């Protein structure tokens, strides 16, 4: 089941002008699960094209269900024709509590994408399985309990790697708390707090 499009949080944003093709190229590097997430950059549908800096959004959908994927650093891009090189473009992305309007100055093309250490929001895999229960949090912006459980399971798997964990022993989560928030400038959605073992 797919949910409505939502903003994603980038690791880095780039924009450059390809003079040979007369195109402006916008690039976003972000952490995502290629199996569950479909992310792209597109023009902001709420703003009519006008002279000056143009506006875009980094958005996509997350597919619930299926096997747990692996969060990887990925690159998405978008280009549009332009006879002149603009000074900057604006890209709306996910913020902590509200969308963030990023002004991206046009510069040189980005360096090649390299897989780096996992982002700080993801647990770092350990060399040995966790010896006791691990606290995890799952979130769903569409208030889906199934999606929140999947998010919690995705976050807990690195704490119980296989190997050294026996491959026939599963990882389970026990939900301890469920809360939902909406309205205002807060991040709306369903949150679960769970214990994994």
Question: What DSSP letter does each residue of 49-63 carry, written as one string?
Answer: --SS--EEEEEEEEB
Local structure of residue 157 (DSSP, 8 states):
G
Q: Locate the DSSP E strands across 68-158.
A: 72-81, 88-93, 100-105, 134-140
List the single range of 150-159, 165-174, 183-192 with lowest mean pLDDT: 165-174
Cis previous bond, 79, omega within 30:
no
pLDDT band, very low/low/confident/very high, at 1 (cuts 50, 70, 90) = very low
Q: Is the pTM of this model over 0.85?
A: no
Name the strand (E) or helix (H) holding 154.
Answer: helix 145-156
Instruction: Give the span between the Cα atoms of 77 and 83, in whole angstroms.
Output: 19
Tell whether the model's pLDDT for residue 105 goes beyond 90: yes
- Asked if residue 167 belongs to a domain, the reply is yes
Instruction: Tell me, yes or no, whether 163 and 75 share the same domain.
Output: no
Tell whether the model's pLDDT for residue 125 goes beyond 50: no
Instruction: Tell me, yes or no, whether 93 and 146 share the same domain.
Output: no
Tell whether the model's pLDDT for residue 144 goes beyond 90: no
Tell whether the model's pLDDT for residue 126 goes beyond 60: no
pLDDT score for 2? 47
Tell whether the model's pLDDT for residue 9 goes beyond 80: yes
Instruction: Tell me the residue range of the domain where 70 lies.
Output: 6-105
Domain total for the chain? 2
> Beta strand pairing status for 72-81 and 55-62?
unpaired
- Asked if residue 141 belongs to a domain, the reply is yes
């Amino acid at each position: 089941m797919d949910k409505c499009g939502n903003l994603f949080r980038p690791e880095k944003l780039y924009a450059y002008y390809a003079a040979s093709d007369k195109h402006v190229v916008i690039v976003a590097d972000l952490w995502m699960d290629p199996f569950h997430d479909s992310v792209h950059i597109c023009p902001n549908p709420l703003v009519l094209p006008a002279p000056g800096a143009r506006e875009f959004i980094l958005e996509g959908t997350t597919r619930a269900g299926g096997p747990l994927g692996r969060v990887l650093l990925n690159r998405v891009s978008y280009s549009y024709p332009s006879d002149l090189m603009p000074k900057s473009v604006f890209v709306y992305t996910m913020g902590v509590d509200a969308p963030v309007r990023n002004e991206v100055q046009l510069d040189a093309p980005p360096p090649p994408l390299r897989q780096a250490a996992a982002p700080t929001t993801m647990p770092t895999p350990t060399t040995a399985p966790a010896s006791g229960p691990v606290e995890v949090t799952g979130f769903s912006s569409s208030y889906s309990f199934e999606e929140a459980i999947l998010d919690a399971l995705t976050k807990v798997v690195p704490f119980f790697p296989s190997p050294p964990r026996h491959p026939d022993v599963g990882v389970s989560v026990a939900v301890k708390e469920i809360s939902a928030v909406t309205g205002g400038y807060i991040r709306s959605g369903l949150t679960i707090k769970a214990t994994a073992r």
